[in-house]
């Protein structure tokens, strides 16, 4: 091993390299230079042991800058690979928590350059930088289960999803106003006429007057042009804009919430605020916020959106409100709001949209002389919407359940009426951005618009004869959730299904076997297992390889325990953790893994205007790659538990 204390030149290079990887990519250049000056650069040859399990902890944690280091455990004399650290990976972090020995051994597998970061440096960062605290809370707690110290107090309240945080978001206190970043400026000596032309060409209501170094000197608004130019007699158009600008301009820092800005508007009696790098007029302009921006942000308050959806008077208005909801989703994801809060909000918004679509359809049918029969019925959401997990506007999966009519003739006429309802509601959902299901699993399909007896006939067949298609249907329809109509009818069907499963216990074995069809790629460390099809070549299928294994496992366990509530994957894991104490820790890891996957899929879907299902691994940052590595281990443990619990090795494939 060779150790070097970095020179000033090396410090600059190391600081730049640090800034490429989490958590240092969230810190400023000055902070990274400070960290770089405190560390050592170590060179290690292939095969060199860095430390062994049980060794006393040193005073450093390590980051790989070049090469690779394997972390392994030794069980009954056999070495078990736990992780392979490559460029940007941190290891040896237990030293941060003051514990005594290493839990794993570390060996260099190829010629490597390591950064030895003093423990005291990292401890200071944890205390002063919330993003660093959040990184170690999440990444370390998942990979090293024996850590007893918690850094949760350093994490922002908004990310915790606590009751207080949720109330704050509902009130819009924590929503950051979406500022205009492409700020149009002008010099103080240009003619008023020219400033007016710039404003007109760019369709803006204000322009910042700035110095050559973009420091704000003042602001001109359309109100200034009306009052100080148009209303004044005489040739004023050739005068410099400095004669009519409002100065000094009110400057603020970025990141102000709606509540902050509303209070500022009241106190300062202003309608425009200039954002600068340090919040003063002595630094460059970076953005501008107007009264319109604040009102627009207020308009995507979930409570305001909910009211607008429920009070919509036309399909066109409903479409507009759903577009606003998309903006809300982007804001929540960008601000890293807790995913369980986002799913709760969007389930309510989507449900309200469906209810309104049903109300519109029923009213239209009535105007056309088509009356819905006086029969108890329920609109069911299936799939991700049924599990309360639909954030992106993917294809719709729905069905209709109705009470059995007295005879076959009545049944046919009742079904025709509900099929008409299904077609109309589906058309409205399409207008709102929810595409038709390619497999036609919709309430407009006669197969999925059935009385209770028809549905139970399906479920008995699927449970009694669990062949591949039956198991596929089970994964879709077992996730039904009532959205409109008779919840009691849906609960009645749920209880009958659970009773049927109880009578045919062998079904759960086949259902569990089906849940193992997508084993996690536990063997990858350097590269992700990607798709080979032409359309998605070199992309990673996050739905099939990560989300489905978890949702399938949660569904099987919920069926075993006869859970009658209409729960999503995360809720199912946490409920099973309560019912099965030995599974509690693993179920919580699975719940957190699924929340991470929902966020990742939503981020990619919004960025690419897609379903988010296929992800290019090149678009993942270092932290996301590490999260995926950790959760694939969790998926493997979940599937091993299913295999053992249901004795799946004894079932023929």
The residues pairing with 40 across neighbouring beta strands, listed in sequence order, are: 116
**Residue 232: how many CA atoms within 13 Å on its side-chain side?**
12
Cα R_g (the chain), whole angstroms = 30
Widest Cα–Cα separation across the chain? 96
Q: What angle do CA 352, 552, 388 make, to 5 degrees?
A: 10
Helix, strand or coil, per DSSP, at residue 449: strand
Protein fold of 302-504: Beta Polymerase; domain 2 (3.30.460)
| Local confidence band at 177 (pLDDT 50, 70, 90 cut-offs) | low
- Please count the other Cβ atoms lying within 10 Å of the Cβ belonging to residue 222: 14
Selection from 496, 506, 525, 518 nearest residue 465 by Cα: 506
| Local confidence band at 473 (pLDDT 50, 70, 90 cut-offs) | very high
Contact of 69 with 101, CB cutoff 8 Å = no
In angstroms, rounded to a whole number, what is the distance separating the alpha carbons of residues 140 and 156? 18
Label residue 423 exposed, middle or buried (CB < 10 Å: 0-12, 13-18, 19+): middle
Query: pLDDT for 318-329, tens place per residue?
Result: 999 999 999 889
Selection from 590, 592, 563, 585 nearest residue 575 by Cα: 563
652: pLDDT strictly greater than 90: no
Strand order in the sheet with 285-290: 251-252, 272-276, 285-290
Q: Which pLDDT score is estimated for 636?
A: 92
Q: Which pLDDT score is estimated for 388?
A: 95
In angstroms, rounded to a whole number, what is the distance separating the alpha carbons of residues 296 and 211? 30
List, in sequence order, the alpha helices (H) in 444-526: 452-464, 468-477, 487-503, 506-515
Enter the tokens of residue 340. Answer: 């369980």
Give me the percent of the chain exceeding a pLDDT of 70: 84
Count of all residues that appear for the chain in the document = 653
92-100 mean pLDDT: 68
Numbers of helices and strands, H then E, in the chain: 24, 19
475: pLDDT strictly greater than 80: yes
Contact of 479 with 382, CB cutoff 8 Å = yes
Using the 8-state DSSP alphabet, how is residue 588 labeled?
Answer: H
Handedness of CA 51, 57, 60, 63 (dihedral sign): positive
Put simply, whether the predicted model's pTM sits higher than 0.75 gets the answer: no
In angstroms, rounded to a whole number, what is the distance separating the alpha carbons of residues 226 and 206? 12
**Cα 265 from chain centroid (whole Å):** 32
Selection from 53, 58, 54, 50 nearest residue 120 by Cα: 58
Contact of 36 with 14, CB cutoff 8 Å = yes
In angstroms, rounded to a whole number, what is the distance separating the alpha carbons of residues 342 and 336? 10
Protein fold of 185-290: CBS-domain (3.10.580)
- Residues sharing a CB contact under 8 Å with residue 24, sequence separation 6 or more, in sequence order: 18, 32, 35
12: pLDDT strictly greater than 50: yes
Asked if the 2-155 domain carries CATH number 1.10.10.10, the reply is no
Contact of 224 with 244, CB cutoff 8 Å = yes
**Residue 399: how many CA atoms within 13 Å on its side-chain side?**
25
- Residues sharing a CB contact under 8 Å with residue 444, sequence separation 6 or more, in sequence order: 419, 422, 423, 426
Mean pLDDT of the chain: 84
| Local confidence band at 202 (pLDDT 50, 70, 90 cut-offs) | confident
Enter the tokens of residue 395. Answer: 């294809």
Query: pLDDT for 606-639, tens place per residue?
Result: 999 999 999 888 788 888 888 888 889 899 999 9
In angstroms, rounded to a whole number, what is the distance separating the alpha carbons of residues 465 and 506? 10
Contact of 312 with 208, CB cutoff 8 Å = no
| Local confidence band at 139 (pLDDT 50, 70, 90 cut-offs) | very low
**Residue 482: how many CA atoms within 13 Å on its side-chain side?**
18
**Cα 391 from chain centroid (whole Å):** 8
| Least-confidence region, from 144-153, 380-389, 426-435 | 144-153
Q: Which pLDDT score is estimated for 600?
A: 95
- The answer to whether the bond into 312 is cis (omega within 30° of 0) is no
206-210 and 185-186 beta bridge pairing: parallel
Selection from 381, 382, 384, 380 nearest residue 394 by Cα: 384
| Local confidence band at 134 (pLDDT 50, 70, 90 cut-offs) | low
Q: What angle do CA 424, 428, 431 make, to 5 degrees?
A: 140
Selection from 504, 542, 517, 495 nearest residue 642 by Cα: 517
Contact of 451 with 373, CB cutoff 8 Å = no
In angstroms, rounded to a whole number, what is the distance separating the alpha carbons of residues 66 and 86? 7
Helix, strand or coil, per DSSP, at residue 101: strand
108: pLDDT strictly greater than 90: yes
Give me the percent of the chain exceeding a pLDDT of 90: 51
- Top-confidence residue, 361 or 328: 361
Using the 8-state DSSP alphabet, how is residue 175 labeled?
Answer: P
150-158 mean pLDDT: 30
- Please count the other Cβ atoms lying within 10 Å of the Cβ belonging to residue 189: 9
The residues pairing with 64 across neighbouring beta strands, listed in sequence order, are: 114
Query: pLDDT for 588-600, tens place per residue?
Result: 999 999 999 999 9
- For 314-348, give the DSSP string: SHHHHHHHHHHHHHHHHHHHHTT--HHHHHHHHHH
Q: Which helix (H) or strand (E) holds 217?
A: strand 216-221
- Residues sharing a CB contact under 8 Å with residue 39, sequence separation 6 or more, in sequence order: 6, 14, 115, 116, 117, 118, 121
| Local confidence band at 131 (pLDDT 50, 70, 90 cut-offs) | confident
Contact of 372 with 449, CB cutoff 8 Å = no
| Local confidence band at 99 (pLDDT 50, 70, 90 cut-offs) | low
Query: pLDDT for 489-531, tens place per residue?
Result: 999 999 999 999 998 878 999 999 999 988 776 544 444 555 5
With residues binned 3-state (H G I as helix, E B as strand, rest as coil), the percentages for the chain, rounded to 5, are 50, 15, 30
Handedness of CA 598, 604, 608, 610 (dihedral sign): negative
The residue written with tokens 């100065």 in the block is 247
- Top-confidence residue, 135 or 211: 211
């Amino acid at each position: 091993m060779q150790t070097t204390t970095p020179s000033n030149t090396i410090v600059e290079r190391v600081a730049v390299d640090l800034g490429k990887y989490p958590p240092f990519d969230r810190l400023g250049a000055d902070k990274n230079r400070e960290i770089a000056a405190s560390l050592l650069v170590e060179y290690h040859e292939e095969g060199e042991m860095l430390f062994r399990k049980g060794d006393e902890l040193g005073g450093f944690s390590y980051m790989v800058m070049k090469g690779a280091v394997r972390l392994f455990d030794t069980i009954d004399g056999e070495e078990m690979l736990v992780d392979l650290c490559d460029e940007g990976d941190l290891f040896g972090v237990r030293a941060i928590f003051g514990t005594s020995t290493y839990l794993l051994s570390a060996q260099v597998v190829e010629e490597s350059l390591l950064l030895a970061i003093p423990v005291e440096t990292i401890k200071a960062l944890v205390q002063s930088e919330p993003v660093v605290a959040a990184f170690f809370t999440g990444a370390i707690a998942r990979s090293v289960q024996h850590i007893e110290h918690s850094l949760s107090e350093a994490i922002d309240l908004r990310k915790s999803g606590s009751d207080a945080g949720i109330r704050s978001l509902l009130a819009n206190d924590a929503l950051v106003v979406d500022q205009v970043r492409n700020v149009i400026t002008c010099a103080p000596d240009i003619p008023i006429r020219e400033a007016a032309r710039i404003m007109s060409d760019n369709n803006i209501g204000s322009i910042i007057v700035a110095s050559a170094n973009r420091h704000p000197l003042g602001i001109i608004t359309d109100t200034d042009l009306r009052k100080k130019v148009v209303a004044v007699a005489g040739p004023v158009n050739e005068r410099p804009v400095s004669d009519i600008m409002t100065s000094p301009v009110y400057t603020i820092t970025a990141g102000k919430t709606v509540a902050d800005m509303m209070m500022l508007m009241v106190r300062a009696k202003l309608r425009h605020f200039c954002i600068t790098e340090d919040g003063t007029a002595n630094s460059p302009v970076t953005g501008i916020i107007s009264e319109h921006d604040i009102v627009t942000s207020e308009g995507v308050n979930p409570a305001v959106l909910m009211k607008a959806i429920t009070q919509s008077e036309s399909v066109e208005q409903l479409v507009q409100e759903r577009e606003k909801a998309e903006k809300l989703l982007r804001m929540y994801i960008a601000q890293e709001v807790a995913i369980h809060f986002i799913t709760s909000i969007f389930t309510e918004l989507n449900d309200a949209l469906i209810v309104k679509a049903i109300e519109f359809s029923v009213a239209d049918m009535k105007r056309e002389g088509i009356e819905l029969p006086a029969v108890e019925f329920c609109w069911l959401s299936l799939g991700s919407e049924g599990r309360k997990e639909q954030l992106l506007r993917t294809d719709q999966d729905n069905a209709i359940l109705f009470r059995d009519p007295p005879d076959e003739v009545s049944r046919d006429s009742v079904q025709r009426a509900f099929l008409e309802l299904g077609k109309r509601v589906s058309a409205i959902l399409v207008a709102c951005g929810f595409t038709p299901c390619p497999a036609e699993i919709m309430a407009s399909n006669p197969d999925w618009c059935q009385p209770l007896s028809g549905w139970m006939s399906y479920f008995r067949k699927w449970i009694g004869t669990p062949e591949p298609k039956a198991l596929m249907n089970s994964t879709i329809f077992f996730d039904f959730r009532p959205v409109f109509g008779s919840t009691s009818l849906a609960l009645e069907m749920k209880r009958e299904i659970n009773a049927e499963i109880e009578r045919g216990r062998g079904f759960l074995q086949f259902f569990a076997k089906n849940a193992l069809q997508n084993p996690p790629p536990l063997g990858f460390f350097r590269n992700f297992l990607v798709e080979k099809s032409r359309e998605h070549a070199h992309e990673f299928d996050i739905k099939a390889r990560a989300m489905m294994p978890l949702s399938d496992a949660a569904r099987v366990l919920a069926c075993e325990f006869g859970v009658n509530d209409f729960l999503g994957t995360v809720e199912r894991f946490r409920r099973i953790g309560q019912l099965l104490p030995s599974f509690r820790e693993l179920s919580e890891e699975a719940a957190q893994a699924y929340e991470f996957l929902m966020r990742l899929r939503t981020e990619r879907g919004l960025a690419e205007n897609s379903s988010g299902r296929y992800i290019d691994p090149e678009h993942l940052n270092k932290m996301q790659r590490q999260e995926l590595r950790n959760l694939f281990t969790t998926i493997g443990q979940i599937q091993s538990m299913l295999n053992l619990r249901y004795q799946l090795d004894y079932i023929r494939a």
